[in-house]
Amino acid sequence: MAQILIVDDDHQLRQSFERLLLAEGHEVRTAASGEAGIEAMRASLPEVVIMDVRMPGMSGLEAFRRMREIAPKLPVIVMTAFGTTETAIEATKMGAFDYILKPFDIPQVLKLITDALAAGRFMRGRVEVDASSASESEEALVGRSQAMQEIYKAIGRAAPTDATVLIRGESGTGKELVAKAIYQHSLRADKPFMVINCVAIPETLLESELFGYEKGAFTGASARRVGKIEQAHRGTVFLDEIGDMPLSIQAKILRLLQERHIERLGGRQPIPVDVRIIAATNRDLEKAVAEGQFREDLYYRLKVVTMRLPPLAERAGDTPLLAEYFLARYAREMHLQSPGLTPDAARYLAARPWPGNVRELANTVHKALIFNRGGPLSEAEMREAAEGQERSKAARMEVESDGRLQEWIRSELTAGEGRDAFDGLMDRFGSIIIREALTLSGGNRTRAARMLGLSRPTLLSKIDKYGLRIEAQVSAADD
Ligand SMILES: Nc1ncnc2c1ncn2[C@@H]1O[C@H](COP(=O)(O)OP(=O)(O)OP(=O)(O)O)[C@@H](O)[C@H]1O
Ligand SMILES: [Mg+2]
């Protein structure tokens, strides 16, 4: 749930937006002019603004400029009717998050809002590097092992330069978190951060997503479109899963790195862009180069500053620290006191292999906390959470039968008085339900959506909202 502000002089459009977004569980405010929009923003800051560029009175562009002054990182989505795309493009160049053309394609609008919310949260949230008492900070890189100390130093050295950084490491080792930390400690911290997941976007769309296109570049290109890289001008672009990027696009990225300009599809003149590139992959790039899947010249260009995130098994002593950190974080989310770990439980976690690395550890701790029967988490509880679905299914039955669930709801209600306890609880249940549907569907989101009776975009927005990530392989196999 997020606060969204709609600014449009068209009464009907405001209403239909309001209805749509309320149904999605958002809080919506509306304003009929640029002036009123700015007023509304001053009264209370929304998380996303959706604004028409063509309104009587203050122009959309002027309104956008002032909003930018009030909240430089607030994502603003600009709406435009066919024929006024130039204004929308201008707004994007001034830093608007993106623009949409009327009439709207609803799933597309919802997806854009989800992306804008994620981008806003991403830019706002601070990542503390090497926090000794991390539990109170919003997000932190936790770990005191020698291997992680080296990473902190590398972040400190690389962040304030404009150097391209390549982050490598197995799945779940924290590559995205490190990318975020580099961005936030860089000189571009107050400029946009654009995340592009090279596997999540179908190959046919990736090129136009990244580079944009000119009108008539291909069938269906009825108006010019600015790509993500151009939108991130003066900011940072995070190319996640770059090892999976198609060769044709690799060539264009290489050109961007060498010549500092891009070309829109169907465009004739190069457009200079100033972006810093951070890339990440869990692929064996050397092998990909040998097999002709990855350009050697791009590989050399990227690897100048490389950070190799060690698997959890190589971070001696960090596992219990991380477990305590996640326990504190999840407990806070549930308005509970962290129950802590017994020494046996800590030893068990430290000795166990974690093929899914930090992500798997975090999920296990989360599960254990949900089913905790009171008192510090024991080795048995941890084992139960760590070992497969069968055991956790049994535990769930127990939760229902021993009144633990009711007890938890009661504690939420008393702790959450005056806060939005209902929404908080529903979110917790929602996240459990969706996680289960994804498990049953083997990670296939289309099947999970069918199982849940949700539209696919709605499911995707919820996955995003609850931070439920799916492994890359699974998402690639989806659809
Ligand atoms: N050192 C750390 N301290 C605290 N949290 C961490 C740390 N490393 C990872 N995490 C958390 O673990 C989860 C997984 O990390 P992240 O998404 O960055 O992994 P990744 O390397 O990008 O994985 P993938 O290759 O699967 O995309 C995230 O929730 C992240 O915040
Ligand atoms: Mg990642």
pLDDT tens-digit readout, 81-104: 766 677 777 887 788 888 888 888
| Mean pLDDT value across residues 129-143 | 67
pLDDT tens-digit readout, 332-357: 888 888 999 999 999 999 999 998 89
Question: What's the pLDDT at 401?
Answer: 52
| Residues paired with 78 in a beta bridge | 51, 99
pLDDT tens-digit readout, 5-23: 999 999 999 999 999 999 9
pLDDT tens-digit readout, 305-327: 999 999 999 998 899 999 999 99
Neighbours of ion ligand 2 (CB under 5 A): 175-176
Does the C-beta of 173 come closer than 6 Å to ligand 1? yes
Phi and psi for 200 in degrees, rounded to 5? -70, -25
**Residue nearest to ligand 1 atom 5, measured at CA:** 141
**Residue nearest to ligand 1 atom 31, measured at CA:** 177
pLDDT higher than threshold 50 for residue 477:
no
| Mean pLDDT value across residues 137-163 | 87
**Could you give the CA distance from residue 452 to residue 195 in angstroms, rounded to a whole number?**
29
pLDDT higher than threshold 90 for residue 153:
no
- What the chain holds in terms of domains, given with CATH numbers, is 3-124 (3.40.50.2300), 140-310 (3.40.50.300), 315-477 (1.10.8.60)
pLDDT higher than threshold 90 for residue 437:
no
| Mean pLDDT value across residues 267-296 | 95
Question: What's the pLDDT at 140?
Answer: 84
**Could you give the CA distance from residue 358 to residue 325 in angstroms, rounded to a whole number?**
11
Does the C-beta of 359 come closer than 6 Å to ligand 1? yes
Question: What's the pLDDT at 255?
Answer: 95
Does the C-beta of 176 come closer than 6 Å to ligand 1? yes
pLDDT higher than threshold 80 for residue 472:
no
What does the radius of gyration of the chain's CA atoms come to, in whole angstroms?
Answer: 23
Measured in residues, the chain has a length of 479
Tokens of 427: 């979110």
Does the C-beta of 177 come closer than 6 Å to ligand 1? yes
Question: What's the pLDDT at 14?
Answer: 92
pLDDT tens-digit readout, 396-421: 555 555 556 666 777 777 776 667 77
Is residue 378 very low, low, confident or very high in pLDDT (cuts 50, 70, 90)?
very high
Is residue 253 very low, low, confident or very high in pLDDT (cuts 50, 70, 90)?
very high
State in Å: Cα 280 to ligand 2 middle: 7
How does strand 27-31 pair with strand 3-7?
parallel
Question: What's the pLDDT at 313?
Answer: 94
State in Å: Cα 453 to ligand 1 middle: 30
pLDDT higher than threshold 90 for residue 425:
no
pLDDT higher than threshold 70 for residue 67:
yes
The amino acid at residue 113 is I
Model pTM score: 0.70
Whole-number mean pLDDT of the chain?
86
